[in-house]
Amino acid sequence: MQNARLKRKLMNELGGYLFTLPVLLGVLIFTYYPAVQSLIYSFFEYDGFVQMNPVGFRNFIRIFTLDRETGTVFLNTFVYAVITVPLGLVLGYSLALLANTRIRGISAFRVLFYLPVIIPGVSAGILWRDLFDPTFGIMAQIFRILGLPEPTFFAEASTSMATLVWTTTWSMGGGMVIWLAAFKNIPAALYESARLDGAGYFRQLFSITIPLSTPMIFYNLVTSVIGTLQIFSTMIIAGGTSGRGVDNSLYFIAVKIYNEAFTRGSMGYASALAWVLFAIIAVLTVVMFMSNRWVQYSEDNG
């Protein structure tokens, strides 16, 4: 009897493992194996094909001593992250509050808000490059019609970063869906009790909605930091400048990794850069998790 139960249990578990096997193989083959491989390459002078000479920590030392582009790419990346992360959180949250209202036709607005998210990154990059063309772009023509100063957008270093930040507002609908899920998990009884006590909209917002959605705020904060530090879409927007932008104004860490690996043929050095980026993201993630006492989880409210 026990053997039959044990056999049945093993068969059930085997079925579960078989269903998860494609995902497990995908993660192992396309994520963990390349990660370990890149860590090995970071200690070699490797051109991606034939030449593979051990250099120890020379690639990592070069990043912080000999490479003059390091300071630029790190500064550009962190400036972009510092601006877009809070901007994205605030705009996405505000958009979700708007989409969470109970008015007629709000479902259609939710779909319209989310539609830009499904546009592939490459296509969106080409679209923005054409829209912001300083000569023939639609945005430039709108500026001229309104009598505003002649725009430069991505054509000058002084306006490239601001223009790129502007494009990030296009994908606020992705975060909106996550915020809406957080709002739906807040008990309606809390709002009913607050209204009976005479609490208005803003009182409910700051006393109920925001505190009880802090777990999702924290989740979006972590994922946004990780995502912005790996920004890569400027390869399309910057066009013929190898993803650098005018005067390296849009030269980010991920773009430099790509250029080192596939343009200059320095696969080992590119791997070292990738691991430095990984270390920075890991440290920032740990810091955020260590300072998340402001997050109010459901068990804290019981």
Q: What is the pLDDT of residues 265-280, one digit of tens each?
A: 899 999 999 999 999 9
| 27/66 same-domain check | no
| 277/219 same-domain check | yes
The SS3 call for residue 98 is helix
Q: By C-alpha distance, which of 114, 293, 283 is closest to 215?
A: 293
Q: pTM score, two decimals? A: 0.86
Contact between 216 and 181 under an 8 Å Cβ cutoff? The reply is: yes
Give residue 119's pLDDT band: very low, low, confident or very high (50, 70, 90). Answer: confident
Distance, CA of 204 to CA of 101 (rounded, Å): 14
The SS3 call for residue 66 is coil
| 24/159 same-domain check | no
The predicted structure's pLDDT at residue 301: 45
The SS3 call for residue 46 is strand
| 18/115 same-domain check | no
| 106/32 same-domain check | no
pLDDT above 80 (res 61): yes
Task: State which residues form the domain around 167.
Answer: 59-120+154-301
In a domain, residue 141? The reply is: no
| 237/105 same-domain check | yes
The predicted structure's pLDDT at residue 302: 41
In a domain, residue 135? The reply is: no
The predicted structure's pLDDT at residue 278: 95
Lowest mean pLDDT among 78-92, 124-138, 210-224: 124-138
Give residue 84's pLDDT band: very low, low, confident or very high (50, 70, 90). Answer: very high
pLDDT above 80 (res 175): no
The predicted structure's pLDDT at residue 29: 92
